[in-house]
Amino acid sequence: MSLPITMAQASTAGQTQAMLFQPLEIRGVQLRNRIVVSPMAQYSSIDGFLTDWHFAHFAKFAMGGAGSVFTEATKIERRGLGTVGDMGIWKDEHIAPLQRLAKFLKEQGATPSIQLNHAGRKAGTYKPWDGFGALDRSVPVEGQEHWEVIGPSAVEYLEGWPLPREMSKQDIDEVQSNWVKAAMRADQAGFEILEIHGAHGYLIHEFLSPASNKRADRYGGSLGNRMRFALEVTEAVRRVWPQHKPLFFRVSAVDEGGWTIDDTVILARELKSLGVDVIDCSASGISIRSPTASRIAPKLGFQVPYAERVRKDAAVMTMAVGLIVHPRQAEEILVKGQADLVAIGRELLYNPFWPAHAARALGHDKQYGDMPVQYGWWLDRRSKTGYTEE
């Protein structure tokens, strides 16, 4: 594991080597810096297919200098769709547009990364700007058929939401096999990092949390039993995901239904032993929407302590996420050893060139040398005209 170093230690020849801009090698993949674009659903797919909107959306983050660009939560089967507009990878036809995207991200120097997910009992919702509630199932949704809602137990997400059908062992096997097929397609598409979405109240988290898992078989009850589904999916995915490619796992480090940070540390140790390289530490979502979608403003870096605790107690690399907005804040998280990577979401929607600006703010790249030459050449000259604010 990389150890924290100070900015002073890393300073060479008058140029400050901010830790944020030091490359990180994980297995056979090198990230050019420690800035990761957090998965952000765009609700803009048609039948799971990536669209021009997605291409432009992801491409600009790579052009802006991010170390790795994650796709949104890409669904491993149609039953796993949250909204009708989610991206999918449940059929071979989905591969070609994903391949084009992965190739472009890599050409721009960013590591192409994909998050895979299954919505479980949170399947079948309106898009955020249409209210985020459960779909009216009496009419087609945007002209498409509805899909079945499954979960570990017949416990609905919120009042008025569909009661999921409790998954049989056969369903568990089928869903696990779809995770494996999706991982193989992601590899074929050229992605270099795969993240299993085990957070935010979706299927894997539903198995973990006592709030949504009331099973009496070996997938429910004790912590070990509730972790079984997550661990089996991870083991199966790791088997087909190439050894030289990193595997990440996103957790809700704590939730509102009884899952604790101590549980997360135990889970993280198990995941590490199965070949997970990085634990991406988010939180909540089992019975509330999410801190991101609410109007309550959490504190800057509100989830960083989870990444720090998991890194320390499970001795595994972590990614911190959640209101990381300032370059110095991001730098400090790394220097203090709270995480190995920082994931940024909304700040990058606001400013897709955040990494390039952070590189200047931290004294890493004063001449825009890391930017695509089509921009950097001009911006360097612009910066010397004296009319720009530095």
Ligand X SMILES: Cc1cc2nc3c(=O)[nH]c(=O)nc-3n(C[C@H](O)[C@H](O)[C@H](O)COP(=O)(O)O)c2cc1C
Candidate segments 266-274, 309-317, 327-335, 341-349, binder of ligand X by CB under 6 A: 341-349
Residue 346 binds to ligand X (criterion: CB under 6 A): yes
Determine, following the binding rule CB under 6 A, whether residue 344 of this chain makes contact with ligand X.
yes
Residue of 43, 157, 202, 219 marked active site: 202
| Closer of 342 and 359 to ligand X (Cβ) | 342
257-316 binders of ligand X (CB under 6 A): 282, 292
Nearer to ligand X among residue 115 and residue 178 (C-beta): 115
Would residue 350 show up in a list of annotated catalytic residues for this protein?
no
Choosing from 332, 347, 370, 380, the residue that interacts with ligand X (CB under 6 A) is: 347
CA atoms within a 13 Å half-sphere pointing along the CA-CB vector of 162: 22
Compute the least distance from the CB of residue 132 to ligand X, in Å.
11
Number of residues that bind ligand X (CB under 6 A): 21
153 binds ligand X (CB under 6 A): no
Q: State yes or no: residue 201 binds ligand X (CB under 6 A).
A: no
Q: Which residues 10-69 are close enough to bind ligand X by CB under 6 A?
A: 38-41
Q: Is the CB of 17 or the CB of 267 nearer to ligand X?
A: 267
Positions that interact with ligand X (CB under 6 A): 38-41, 72-73, 115, 197, 199-200, 250, 282, 292, 321-324, 344-347
**Residues catalogued as catalytic:** 202
